[in-house]
Amino acid sequence: MQWETVIGLEIHAQLATKTKIFSGASTAFGSEPNTQACLVSLGMPGVLPVFNREAAKMAVKFSSAIGAELGRRSVFARKNYFYPDLPKGYQISQFELPIVGMGKVEIVQENGDVKVVGVTRAHLEEDAGKSLHENFHGMTGIDLNRAGIPLLEIVSEPDIRSAKEAVAYARKIHQIVRYLGICDGNMQEGSFRCDANVSVRPMGQEKLGTRAELKNINSFRFLERAINIEVDRQIDLIESGGEVVQETRLYDSVKDETRSMRSKEEANDYRYFPDPDLLPVELDDDFIADAVAEIPELPDARCKRFVDELGLSLQDAGVLTSSREMADYFETASVGNDAKIAANWVMGEVSAVLNKQGLDIADCPVSAEMLGGMLKRIGDNTISGKIAKDVFEAMWNGEGSADEIIEARGLKQITDSGAIEAIVDEVLAANGKQVENYRNADPDKQPKMLGFFVGQVMKASQGKANPQQVNALLKERLG
């Protein structure tokens, strides 16, 4: 039988506020356990939540970025369940009236076609603490530093039809929240978490199959793996006469399997009700306008501009706009320079060294301005592209700006035709045999043979001769 996969994603993005959603406790990552767990985070009796303005602002930005209907009036509700990392016995979330309503994002499928994925809603809620299960003589350790950090839970429509599409959608949301600066997107540290609701149904069937919810996915690669494994499991199960049970399953990346989370098998019955400690949130025009005014150019628009105005290919523009930092770096470096050459440098040399050293572009020792300065010297023929690689390496090693390095190392390209002629003649005189071979060779083979002489001339000039001039002159002399 032909099966169709149906996927919806729930993404929890930790908002990059300085303080928690309902208290003035710090949200800094990596602090000593419980040093950022104030009385509100601890759920002490008698404390009251006070809502963080910045969290509302960030939600407004997200709403605008996905063209959603903003919930100008939203209501906090209590989601009741018992777990030690949630000391109050309820999580403050939003239920009937979320802050972000229906919106959509576009993803590019494998075949290059654009697909629209609906975003059902996004709501604000507080994160829970962390449980540490090892090494406490049979007890569980609880760290409540994370409790109360604002989350934006972004829920997609069940529009996704494959693991690859799920990854494309998750990456798109990731890109948007990072561009907006509302989430750092760090999946390892848990700032950006994906749960996948996965079901299968016979191709052509309208009714949705029973879904399983996959949790514990902390990379895009694992998202793809976990979905594919779960889809195979469900199909095998149904084809061998079994039935899919609605449940939460954990993805285990070591064993590469999903398994049932027995502790949550009990039917979820959260008994939501409006939180009497919090009034409805009402956002006025000024508040919304202020938030929207802070939204930078978003990736899709920027990508289109790079294609339309700078003449880059769609693929290159896509790579360069994958993160805001990279797009900013490229744009700064390309000012006054050939955009295509700048793009090749950023995607080539710069990215290669960054990858090799495990650095982010924000930490690149060669600033965008420095790279731009070097590109100018390529543009005005002061140095060749080949010499530029040496200059780049020297800039990386902190030897100064391109101009300083070119000066100090005497790397200025030789464009004086007299000087080049002298070197060419010298090389030809020293390689009489090769000259003779060249002249007797089949004209088809000559271009390849010319490379030898070009190489010799470049070597003799220590790479500084202008390659175009060398080529032209050699052809003239040998012809």
For binding to another protein (CB under 8 A), which residues are involved? 17-19, 23-26, 32-39, 42, 50-56, 75, 80, 82-84, 89, 96-97, 131-133, 136, 138-144, 250, 261, 263, 269, 271, 274, 276, 278-282
Q: How far is the CB of 262 from another protein (least distance, A)?
A: 9
d(CA 226, CA 253): 8
Pick from 183, 169, 166, 184: nearest CA to 223 = 166
Determine the straight-line distance between the first and last CA of the chain, rounded to whole angstroms.
Answer: 69
Which CB, 82 or 204, lies closer to another protein?
Answer: 82
Which CB, 139 or 429, lies closer to another protein?
Answer: 139
Q: How far is the CB of 44 from another protein (least distance, A)?
A: 8
Q: How far is the CB of 45 from another protein (least distance, A)?
A: 12
Task: Let me know: does 142 contact 128? Beta carbons within 8 Å.
Answer: no
Residues 6+ away with beta carbon under 8 Å from 310: 317, 334, 339, 343
Which CB, 226 or 423, lies closer to another protein?
Answer: 226
Which CB, 199 or 248, lies closer to another protein?
Answer: 248
Task: Let me know: does 64 contact 72? Beta carbons within 8 Å.
Answer: no
Residue pointed to by tokens 């440098």:
345
d(CA 264, CA 58): 31
d(CA 421, CA 414): 11
Q: How far is the CB of 265 from another protein (least distance, A)?
A: 12
Which CB, 30 or 443, lies closer to another protein?
Answer: 30
Q: How far is the CB of 180 from another protein (least distance, A)?
A: 16
Residues 6+ away with beta carbon under 8 Å from 431: 453, 456
Task: Give the type of residue at 103.
Answer: G
CA-based max dimension of the chain: 98
Q: DSSP letter string over 398-414?
A: T---HHHHHHHHT---B
Task: Let me know: does 215 contact 9? Beta carbons within 8 Å.
Answer: no
Which CB, 177 or 200, lies closer to another protein?
Answer: 177
Which CB, 78 or 377, lies closer to another protein?
Answer: 78
Q: How far is the CB of 172 from another protein (least distance, A)?
A: 27
Q: How far is the CB of 375 from another protein (least distance, A)?
A: 40
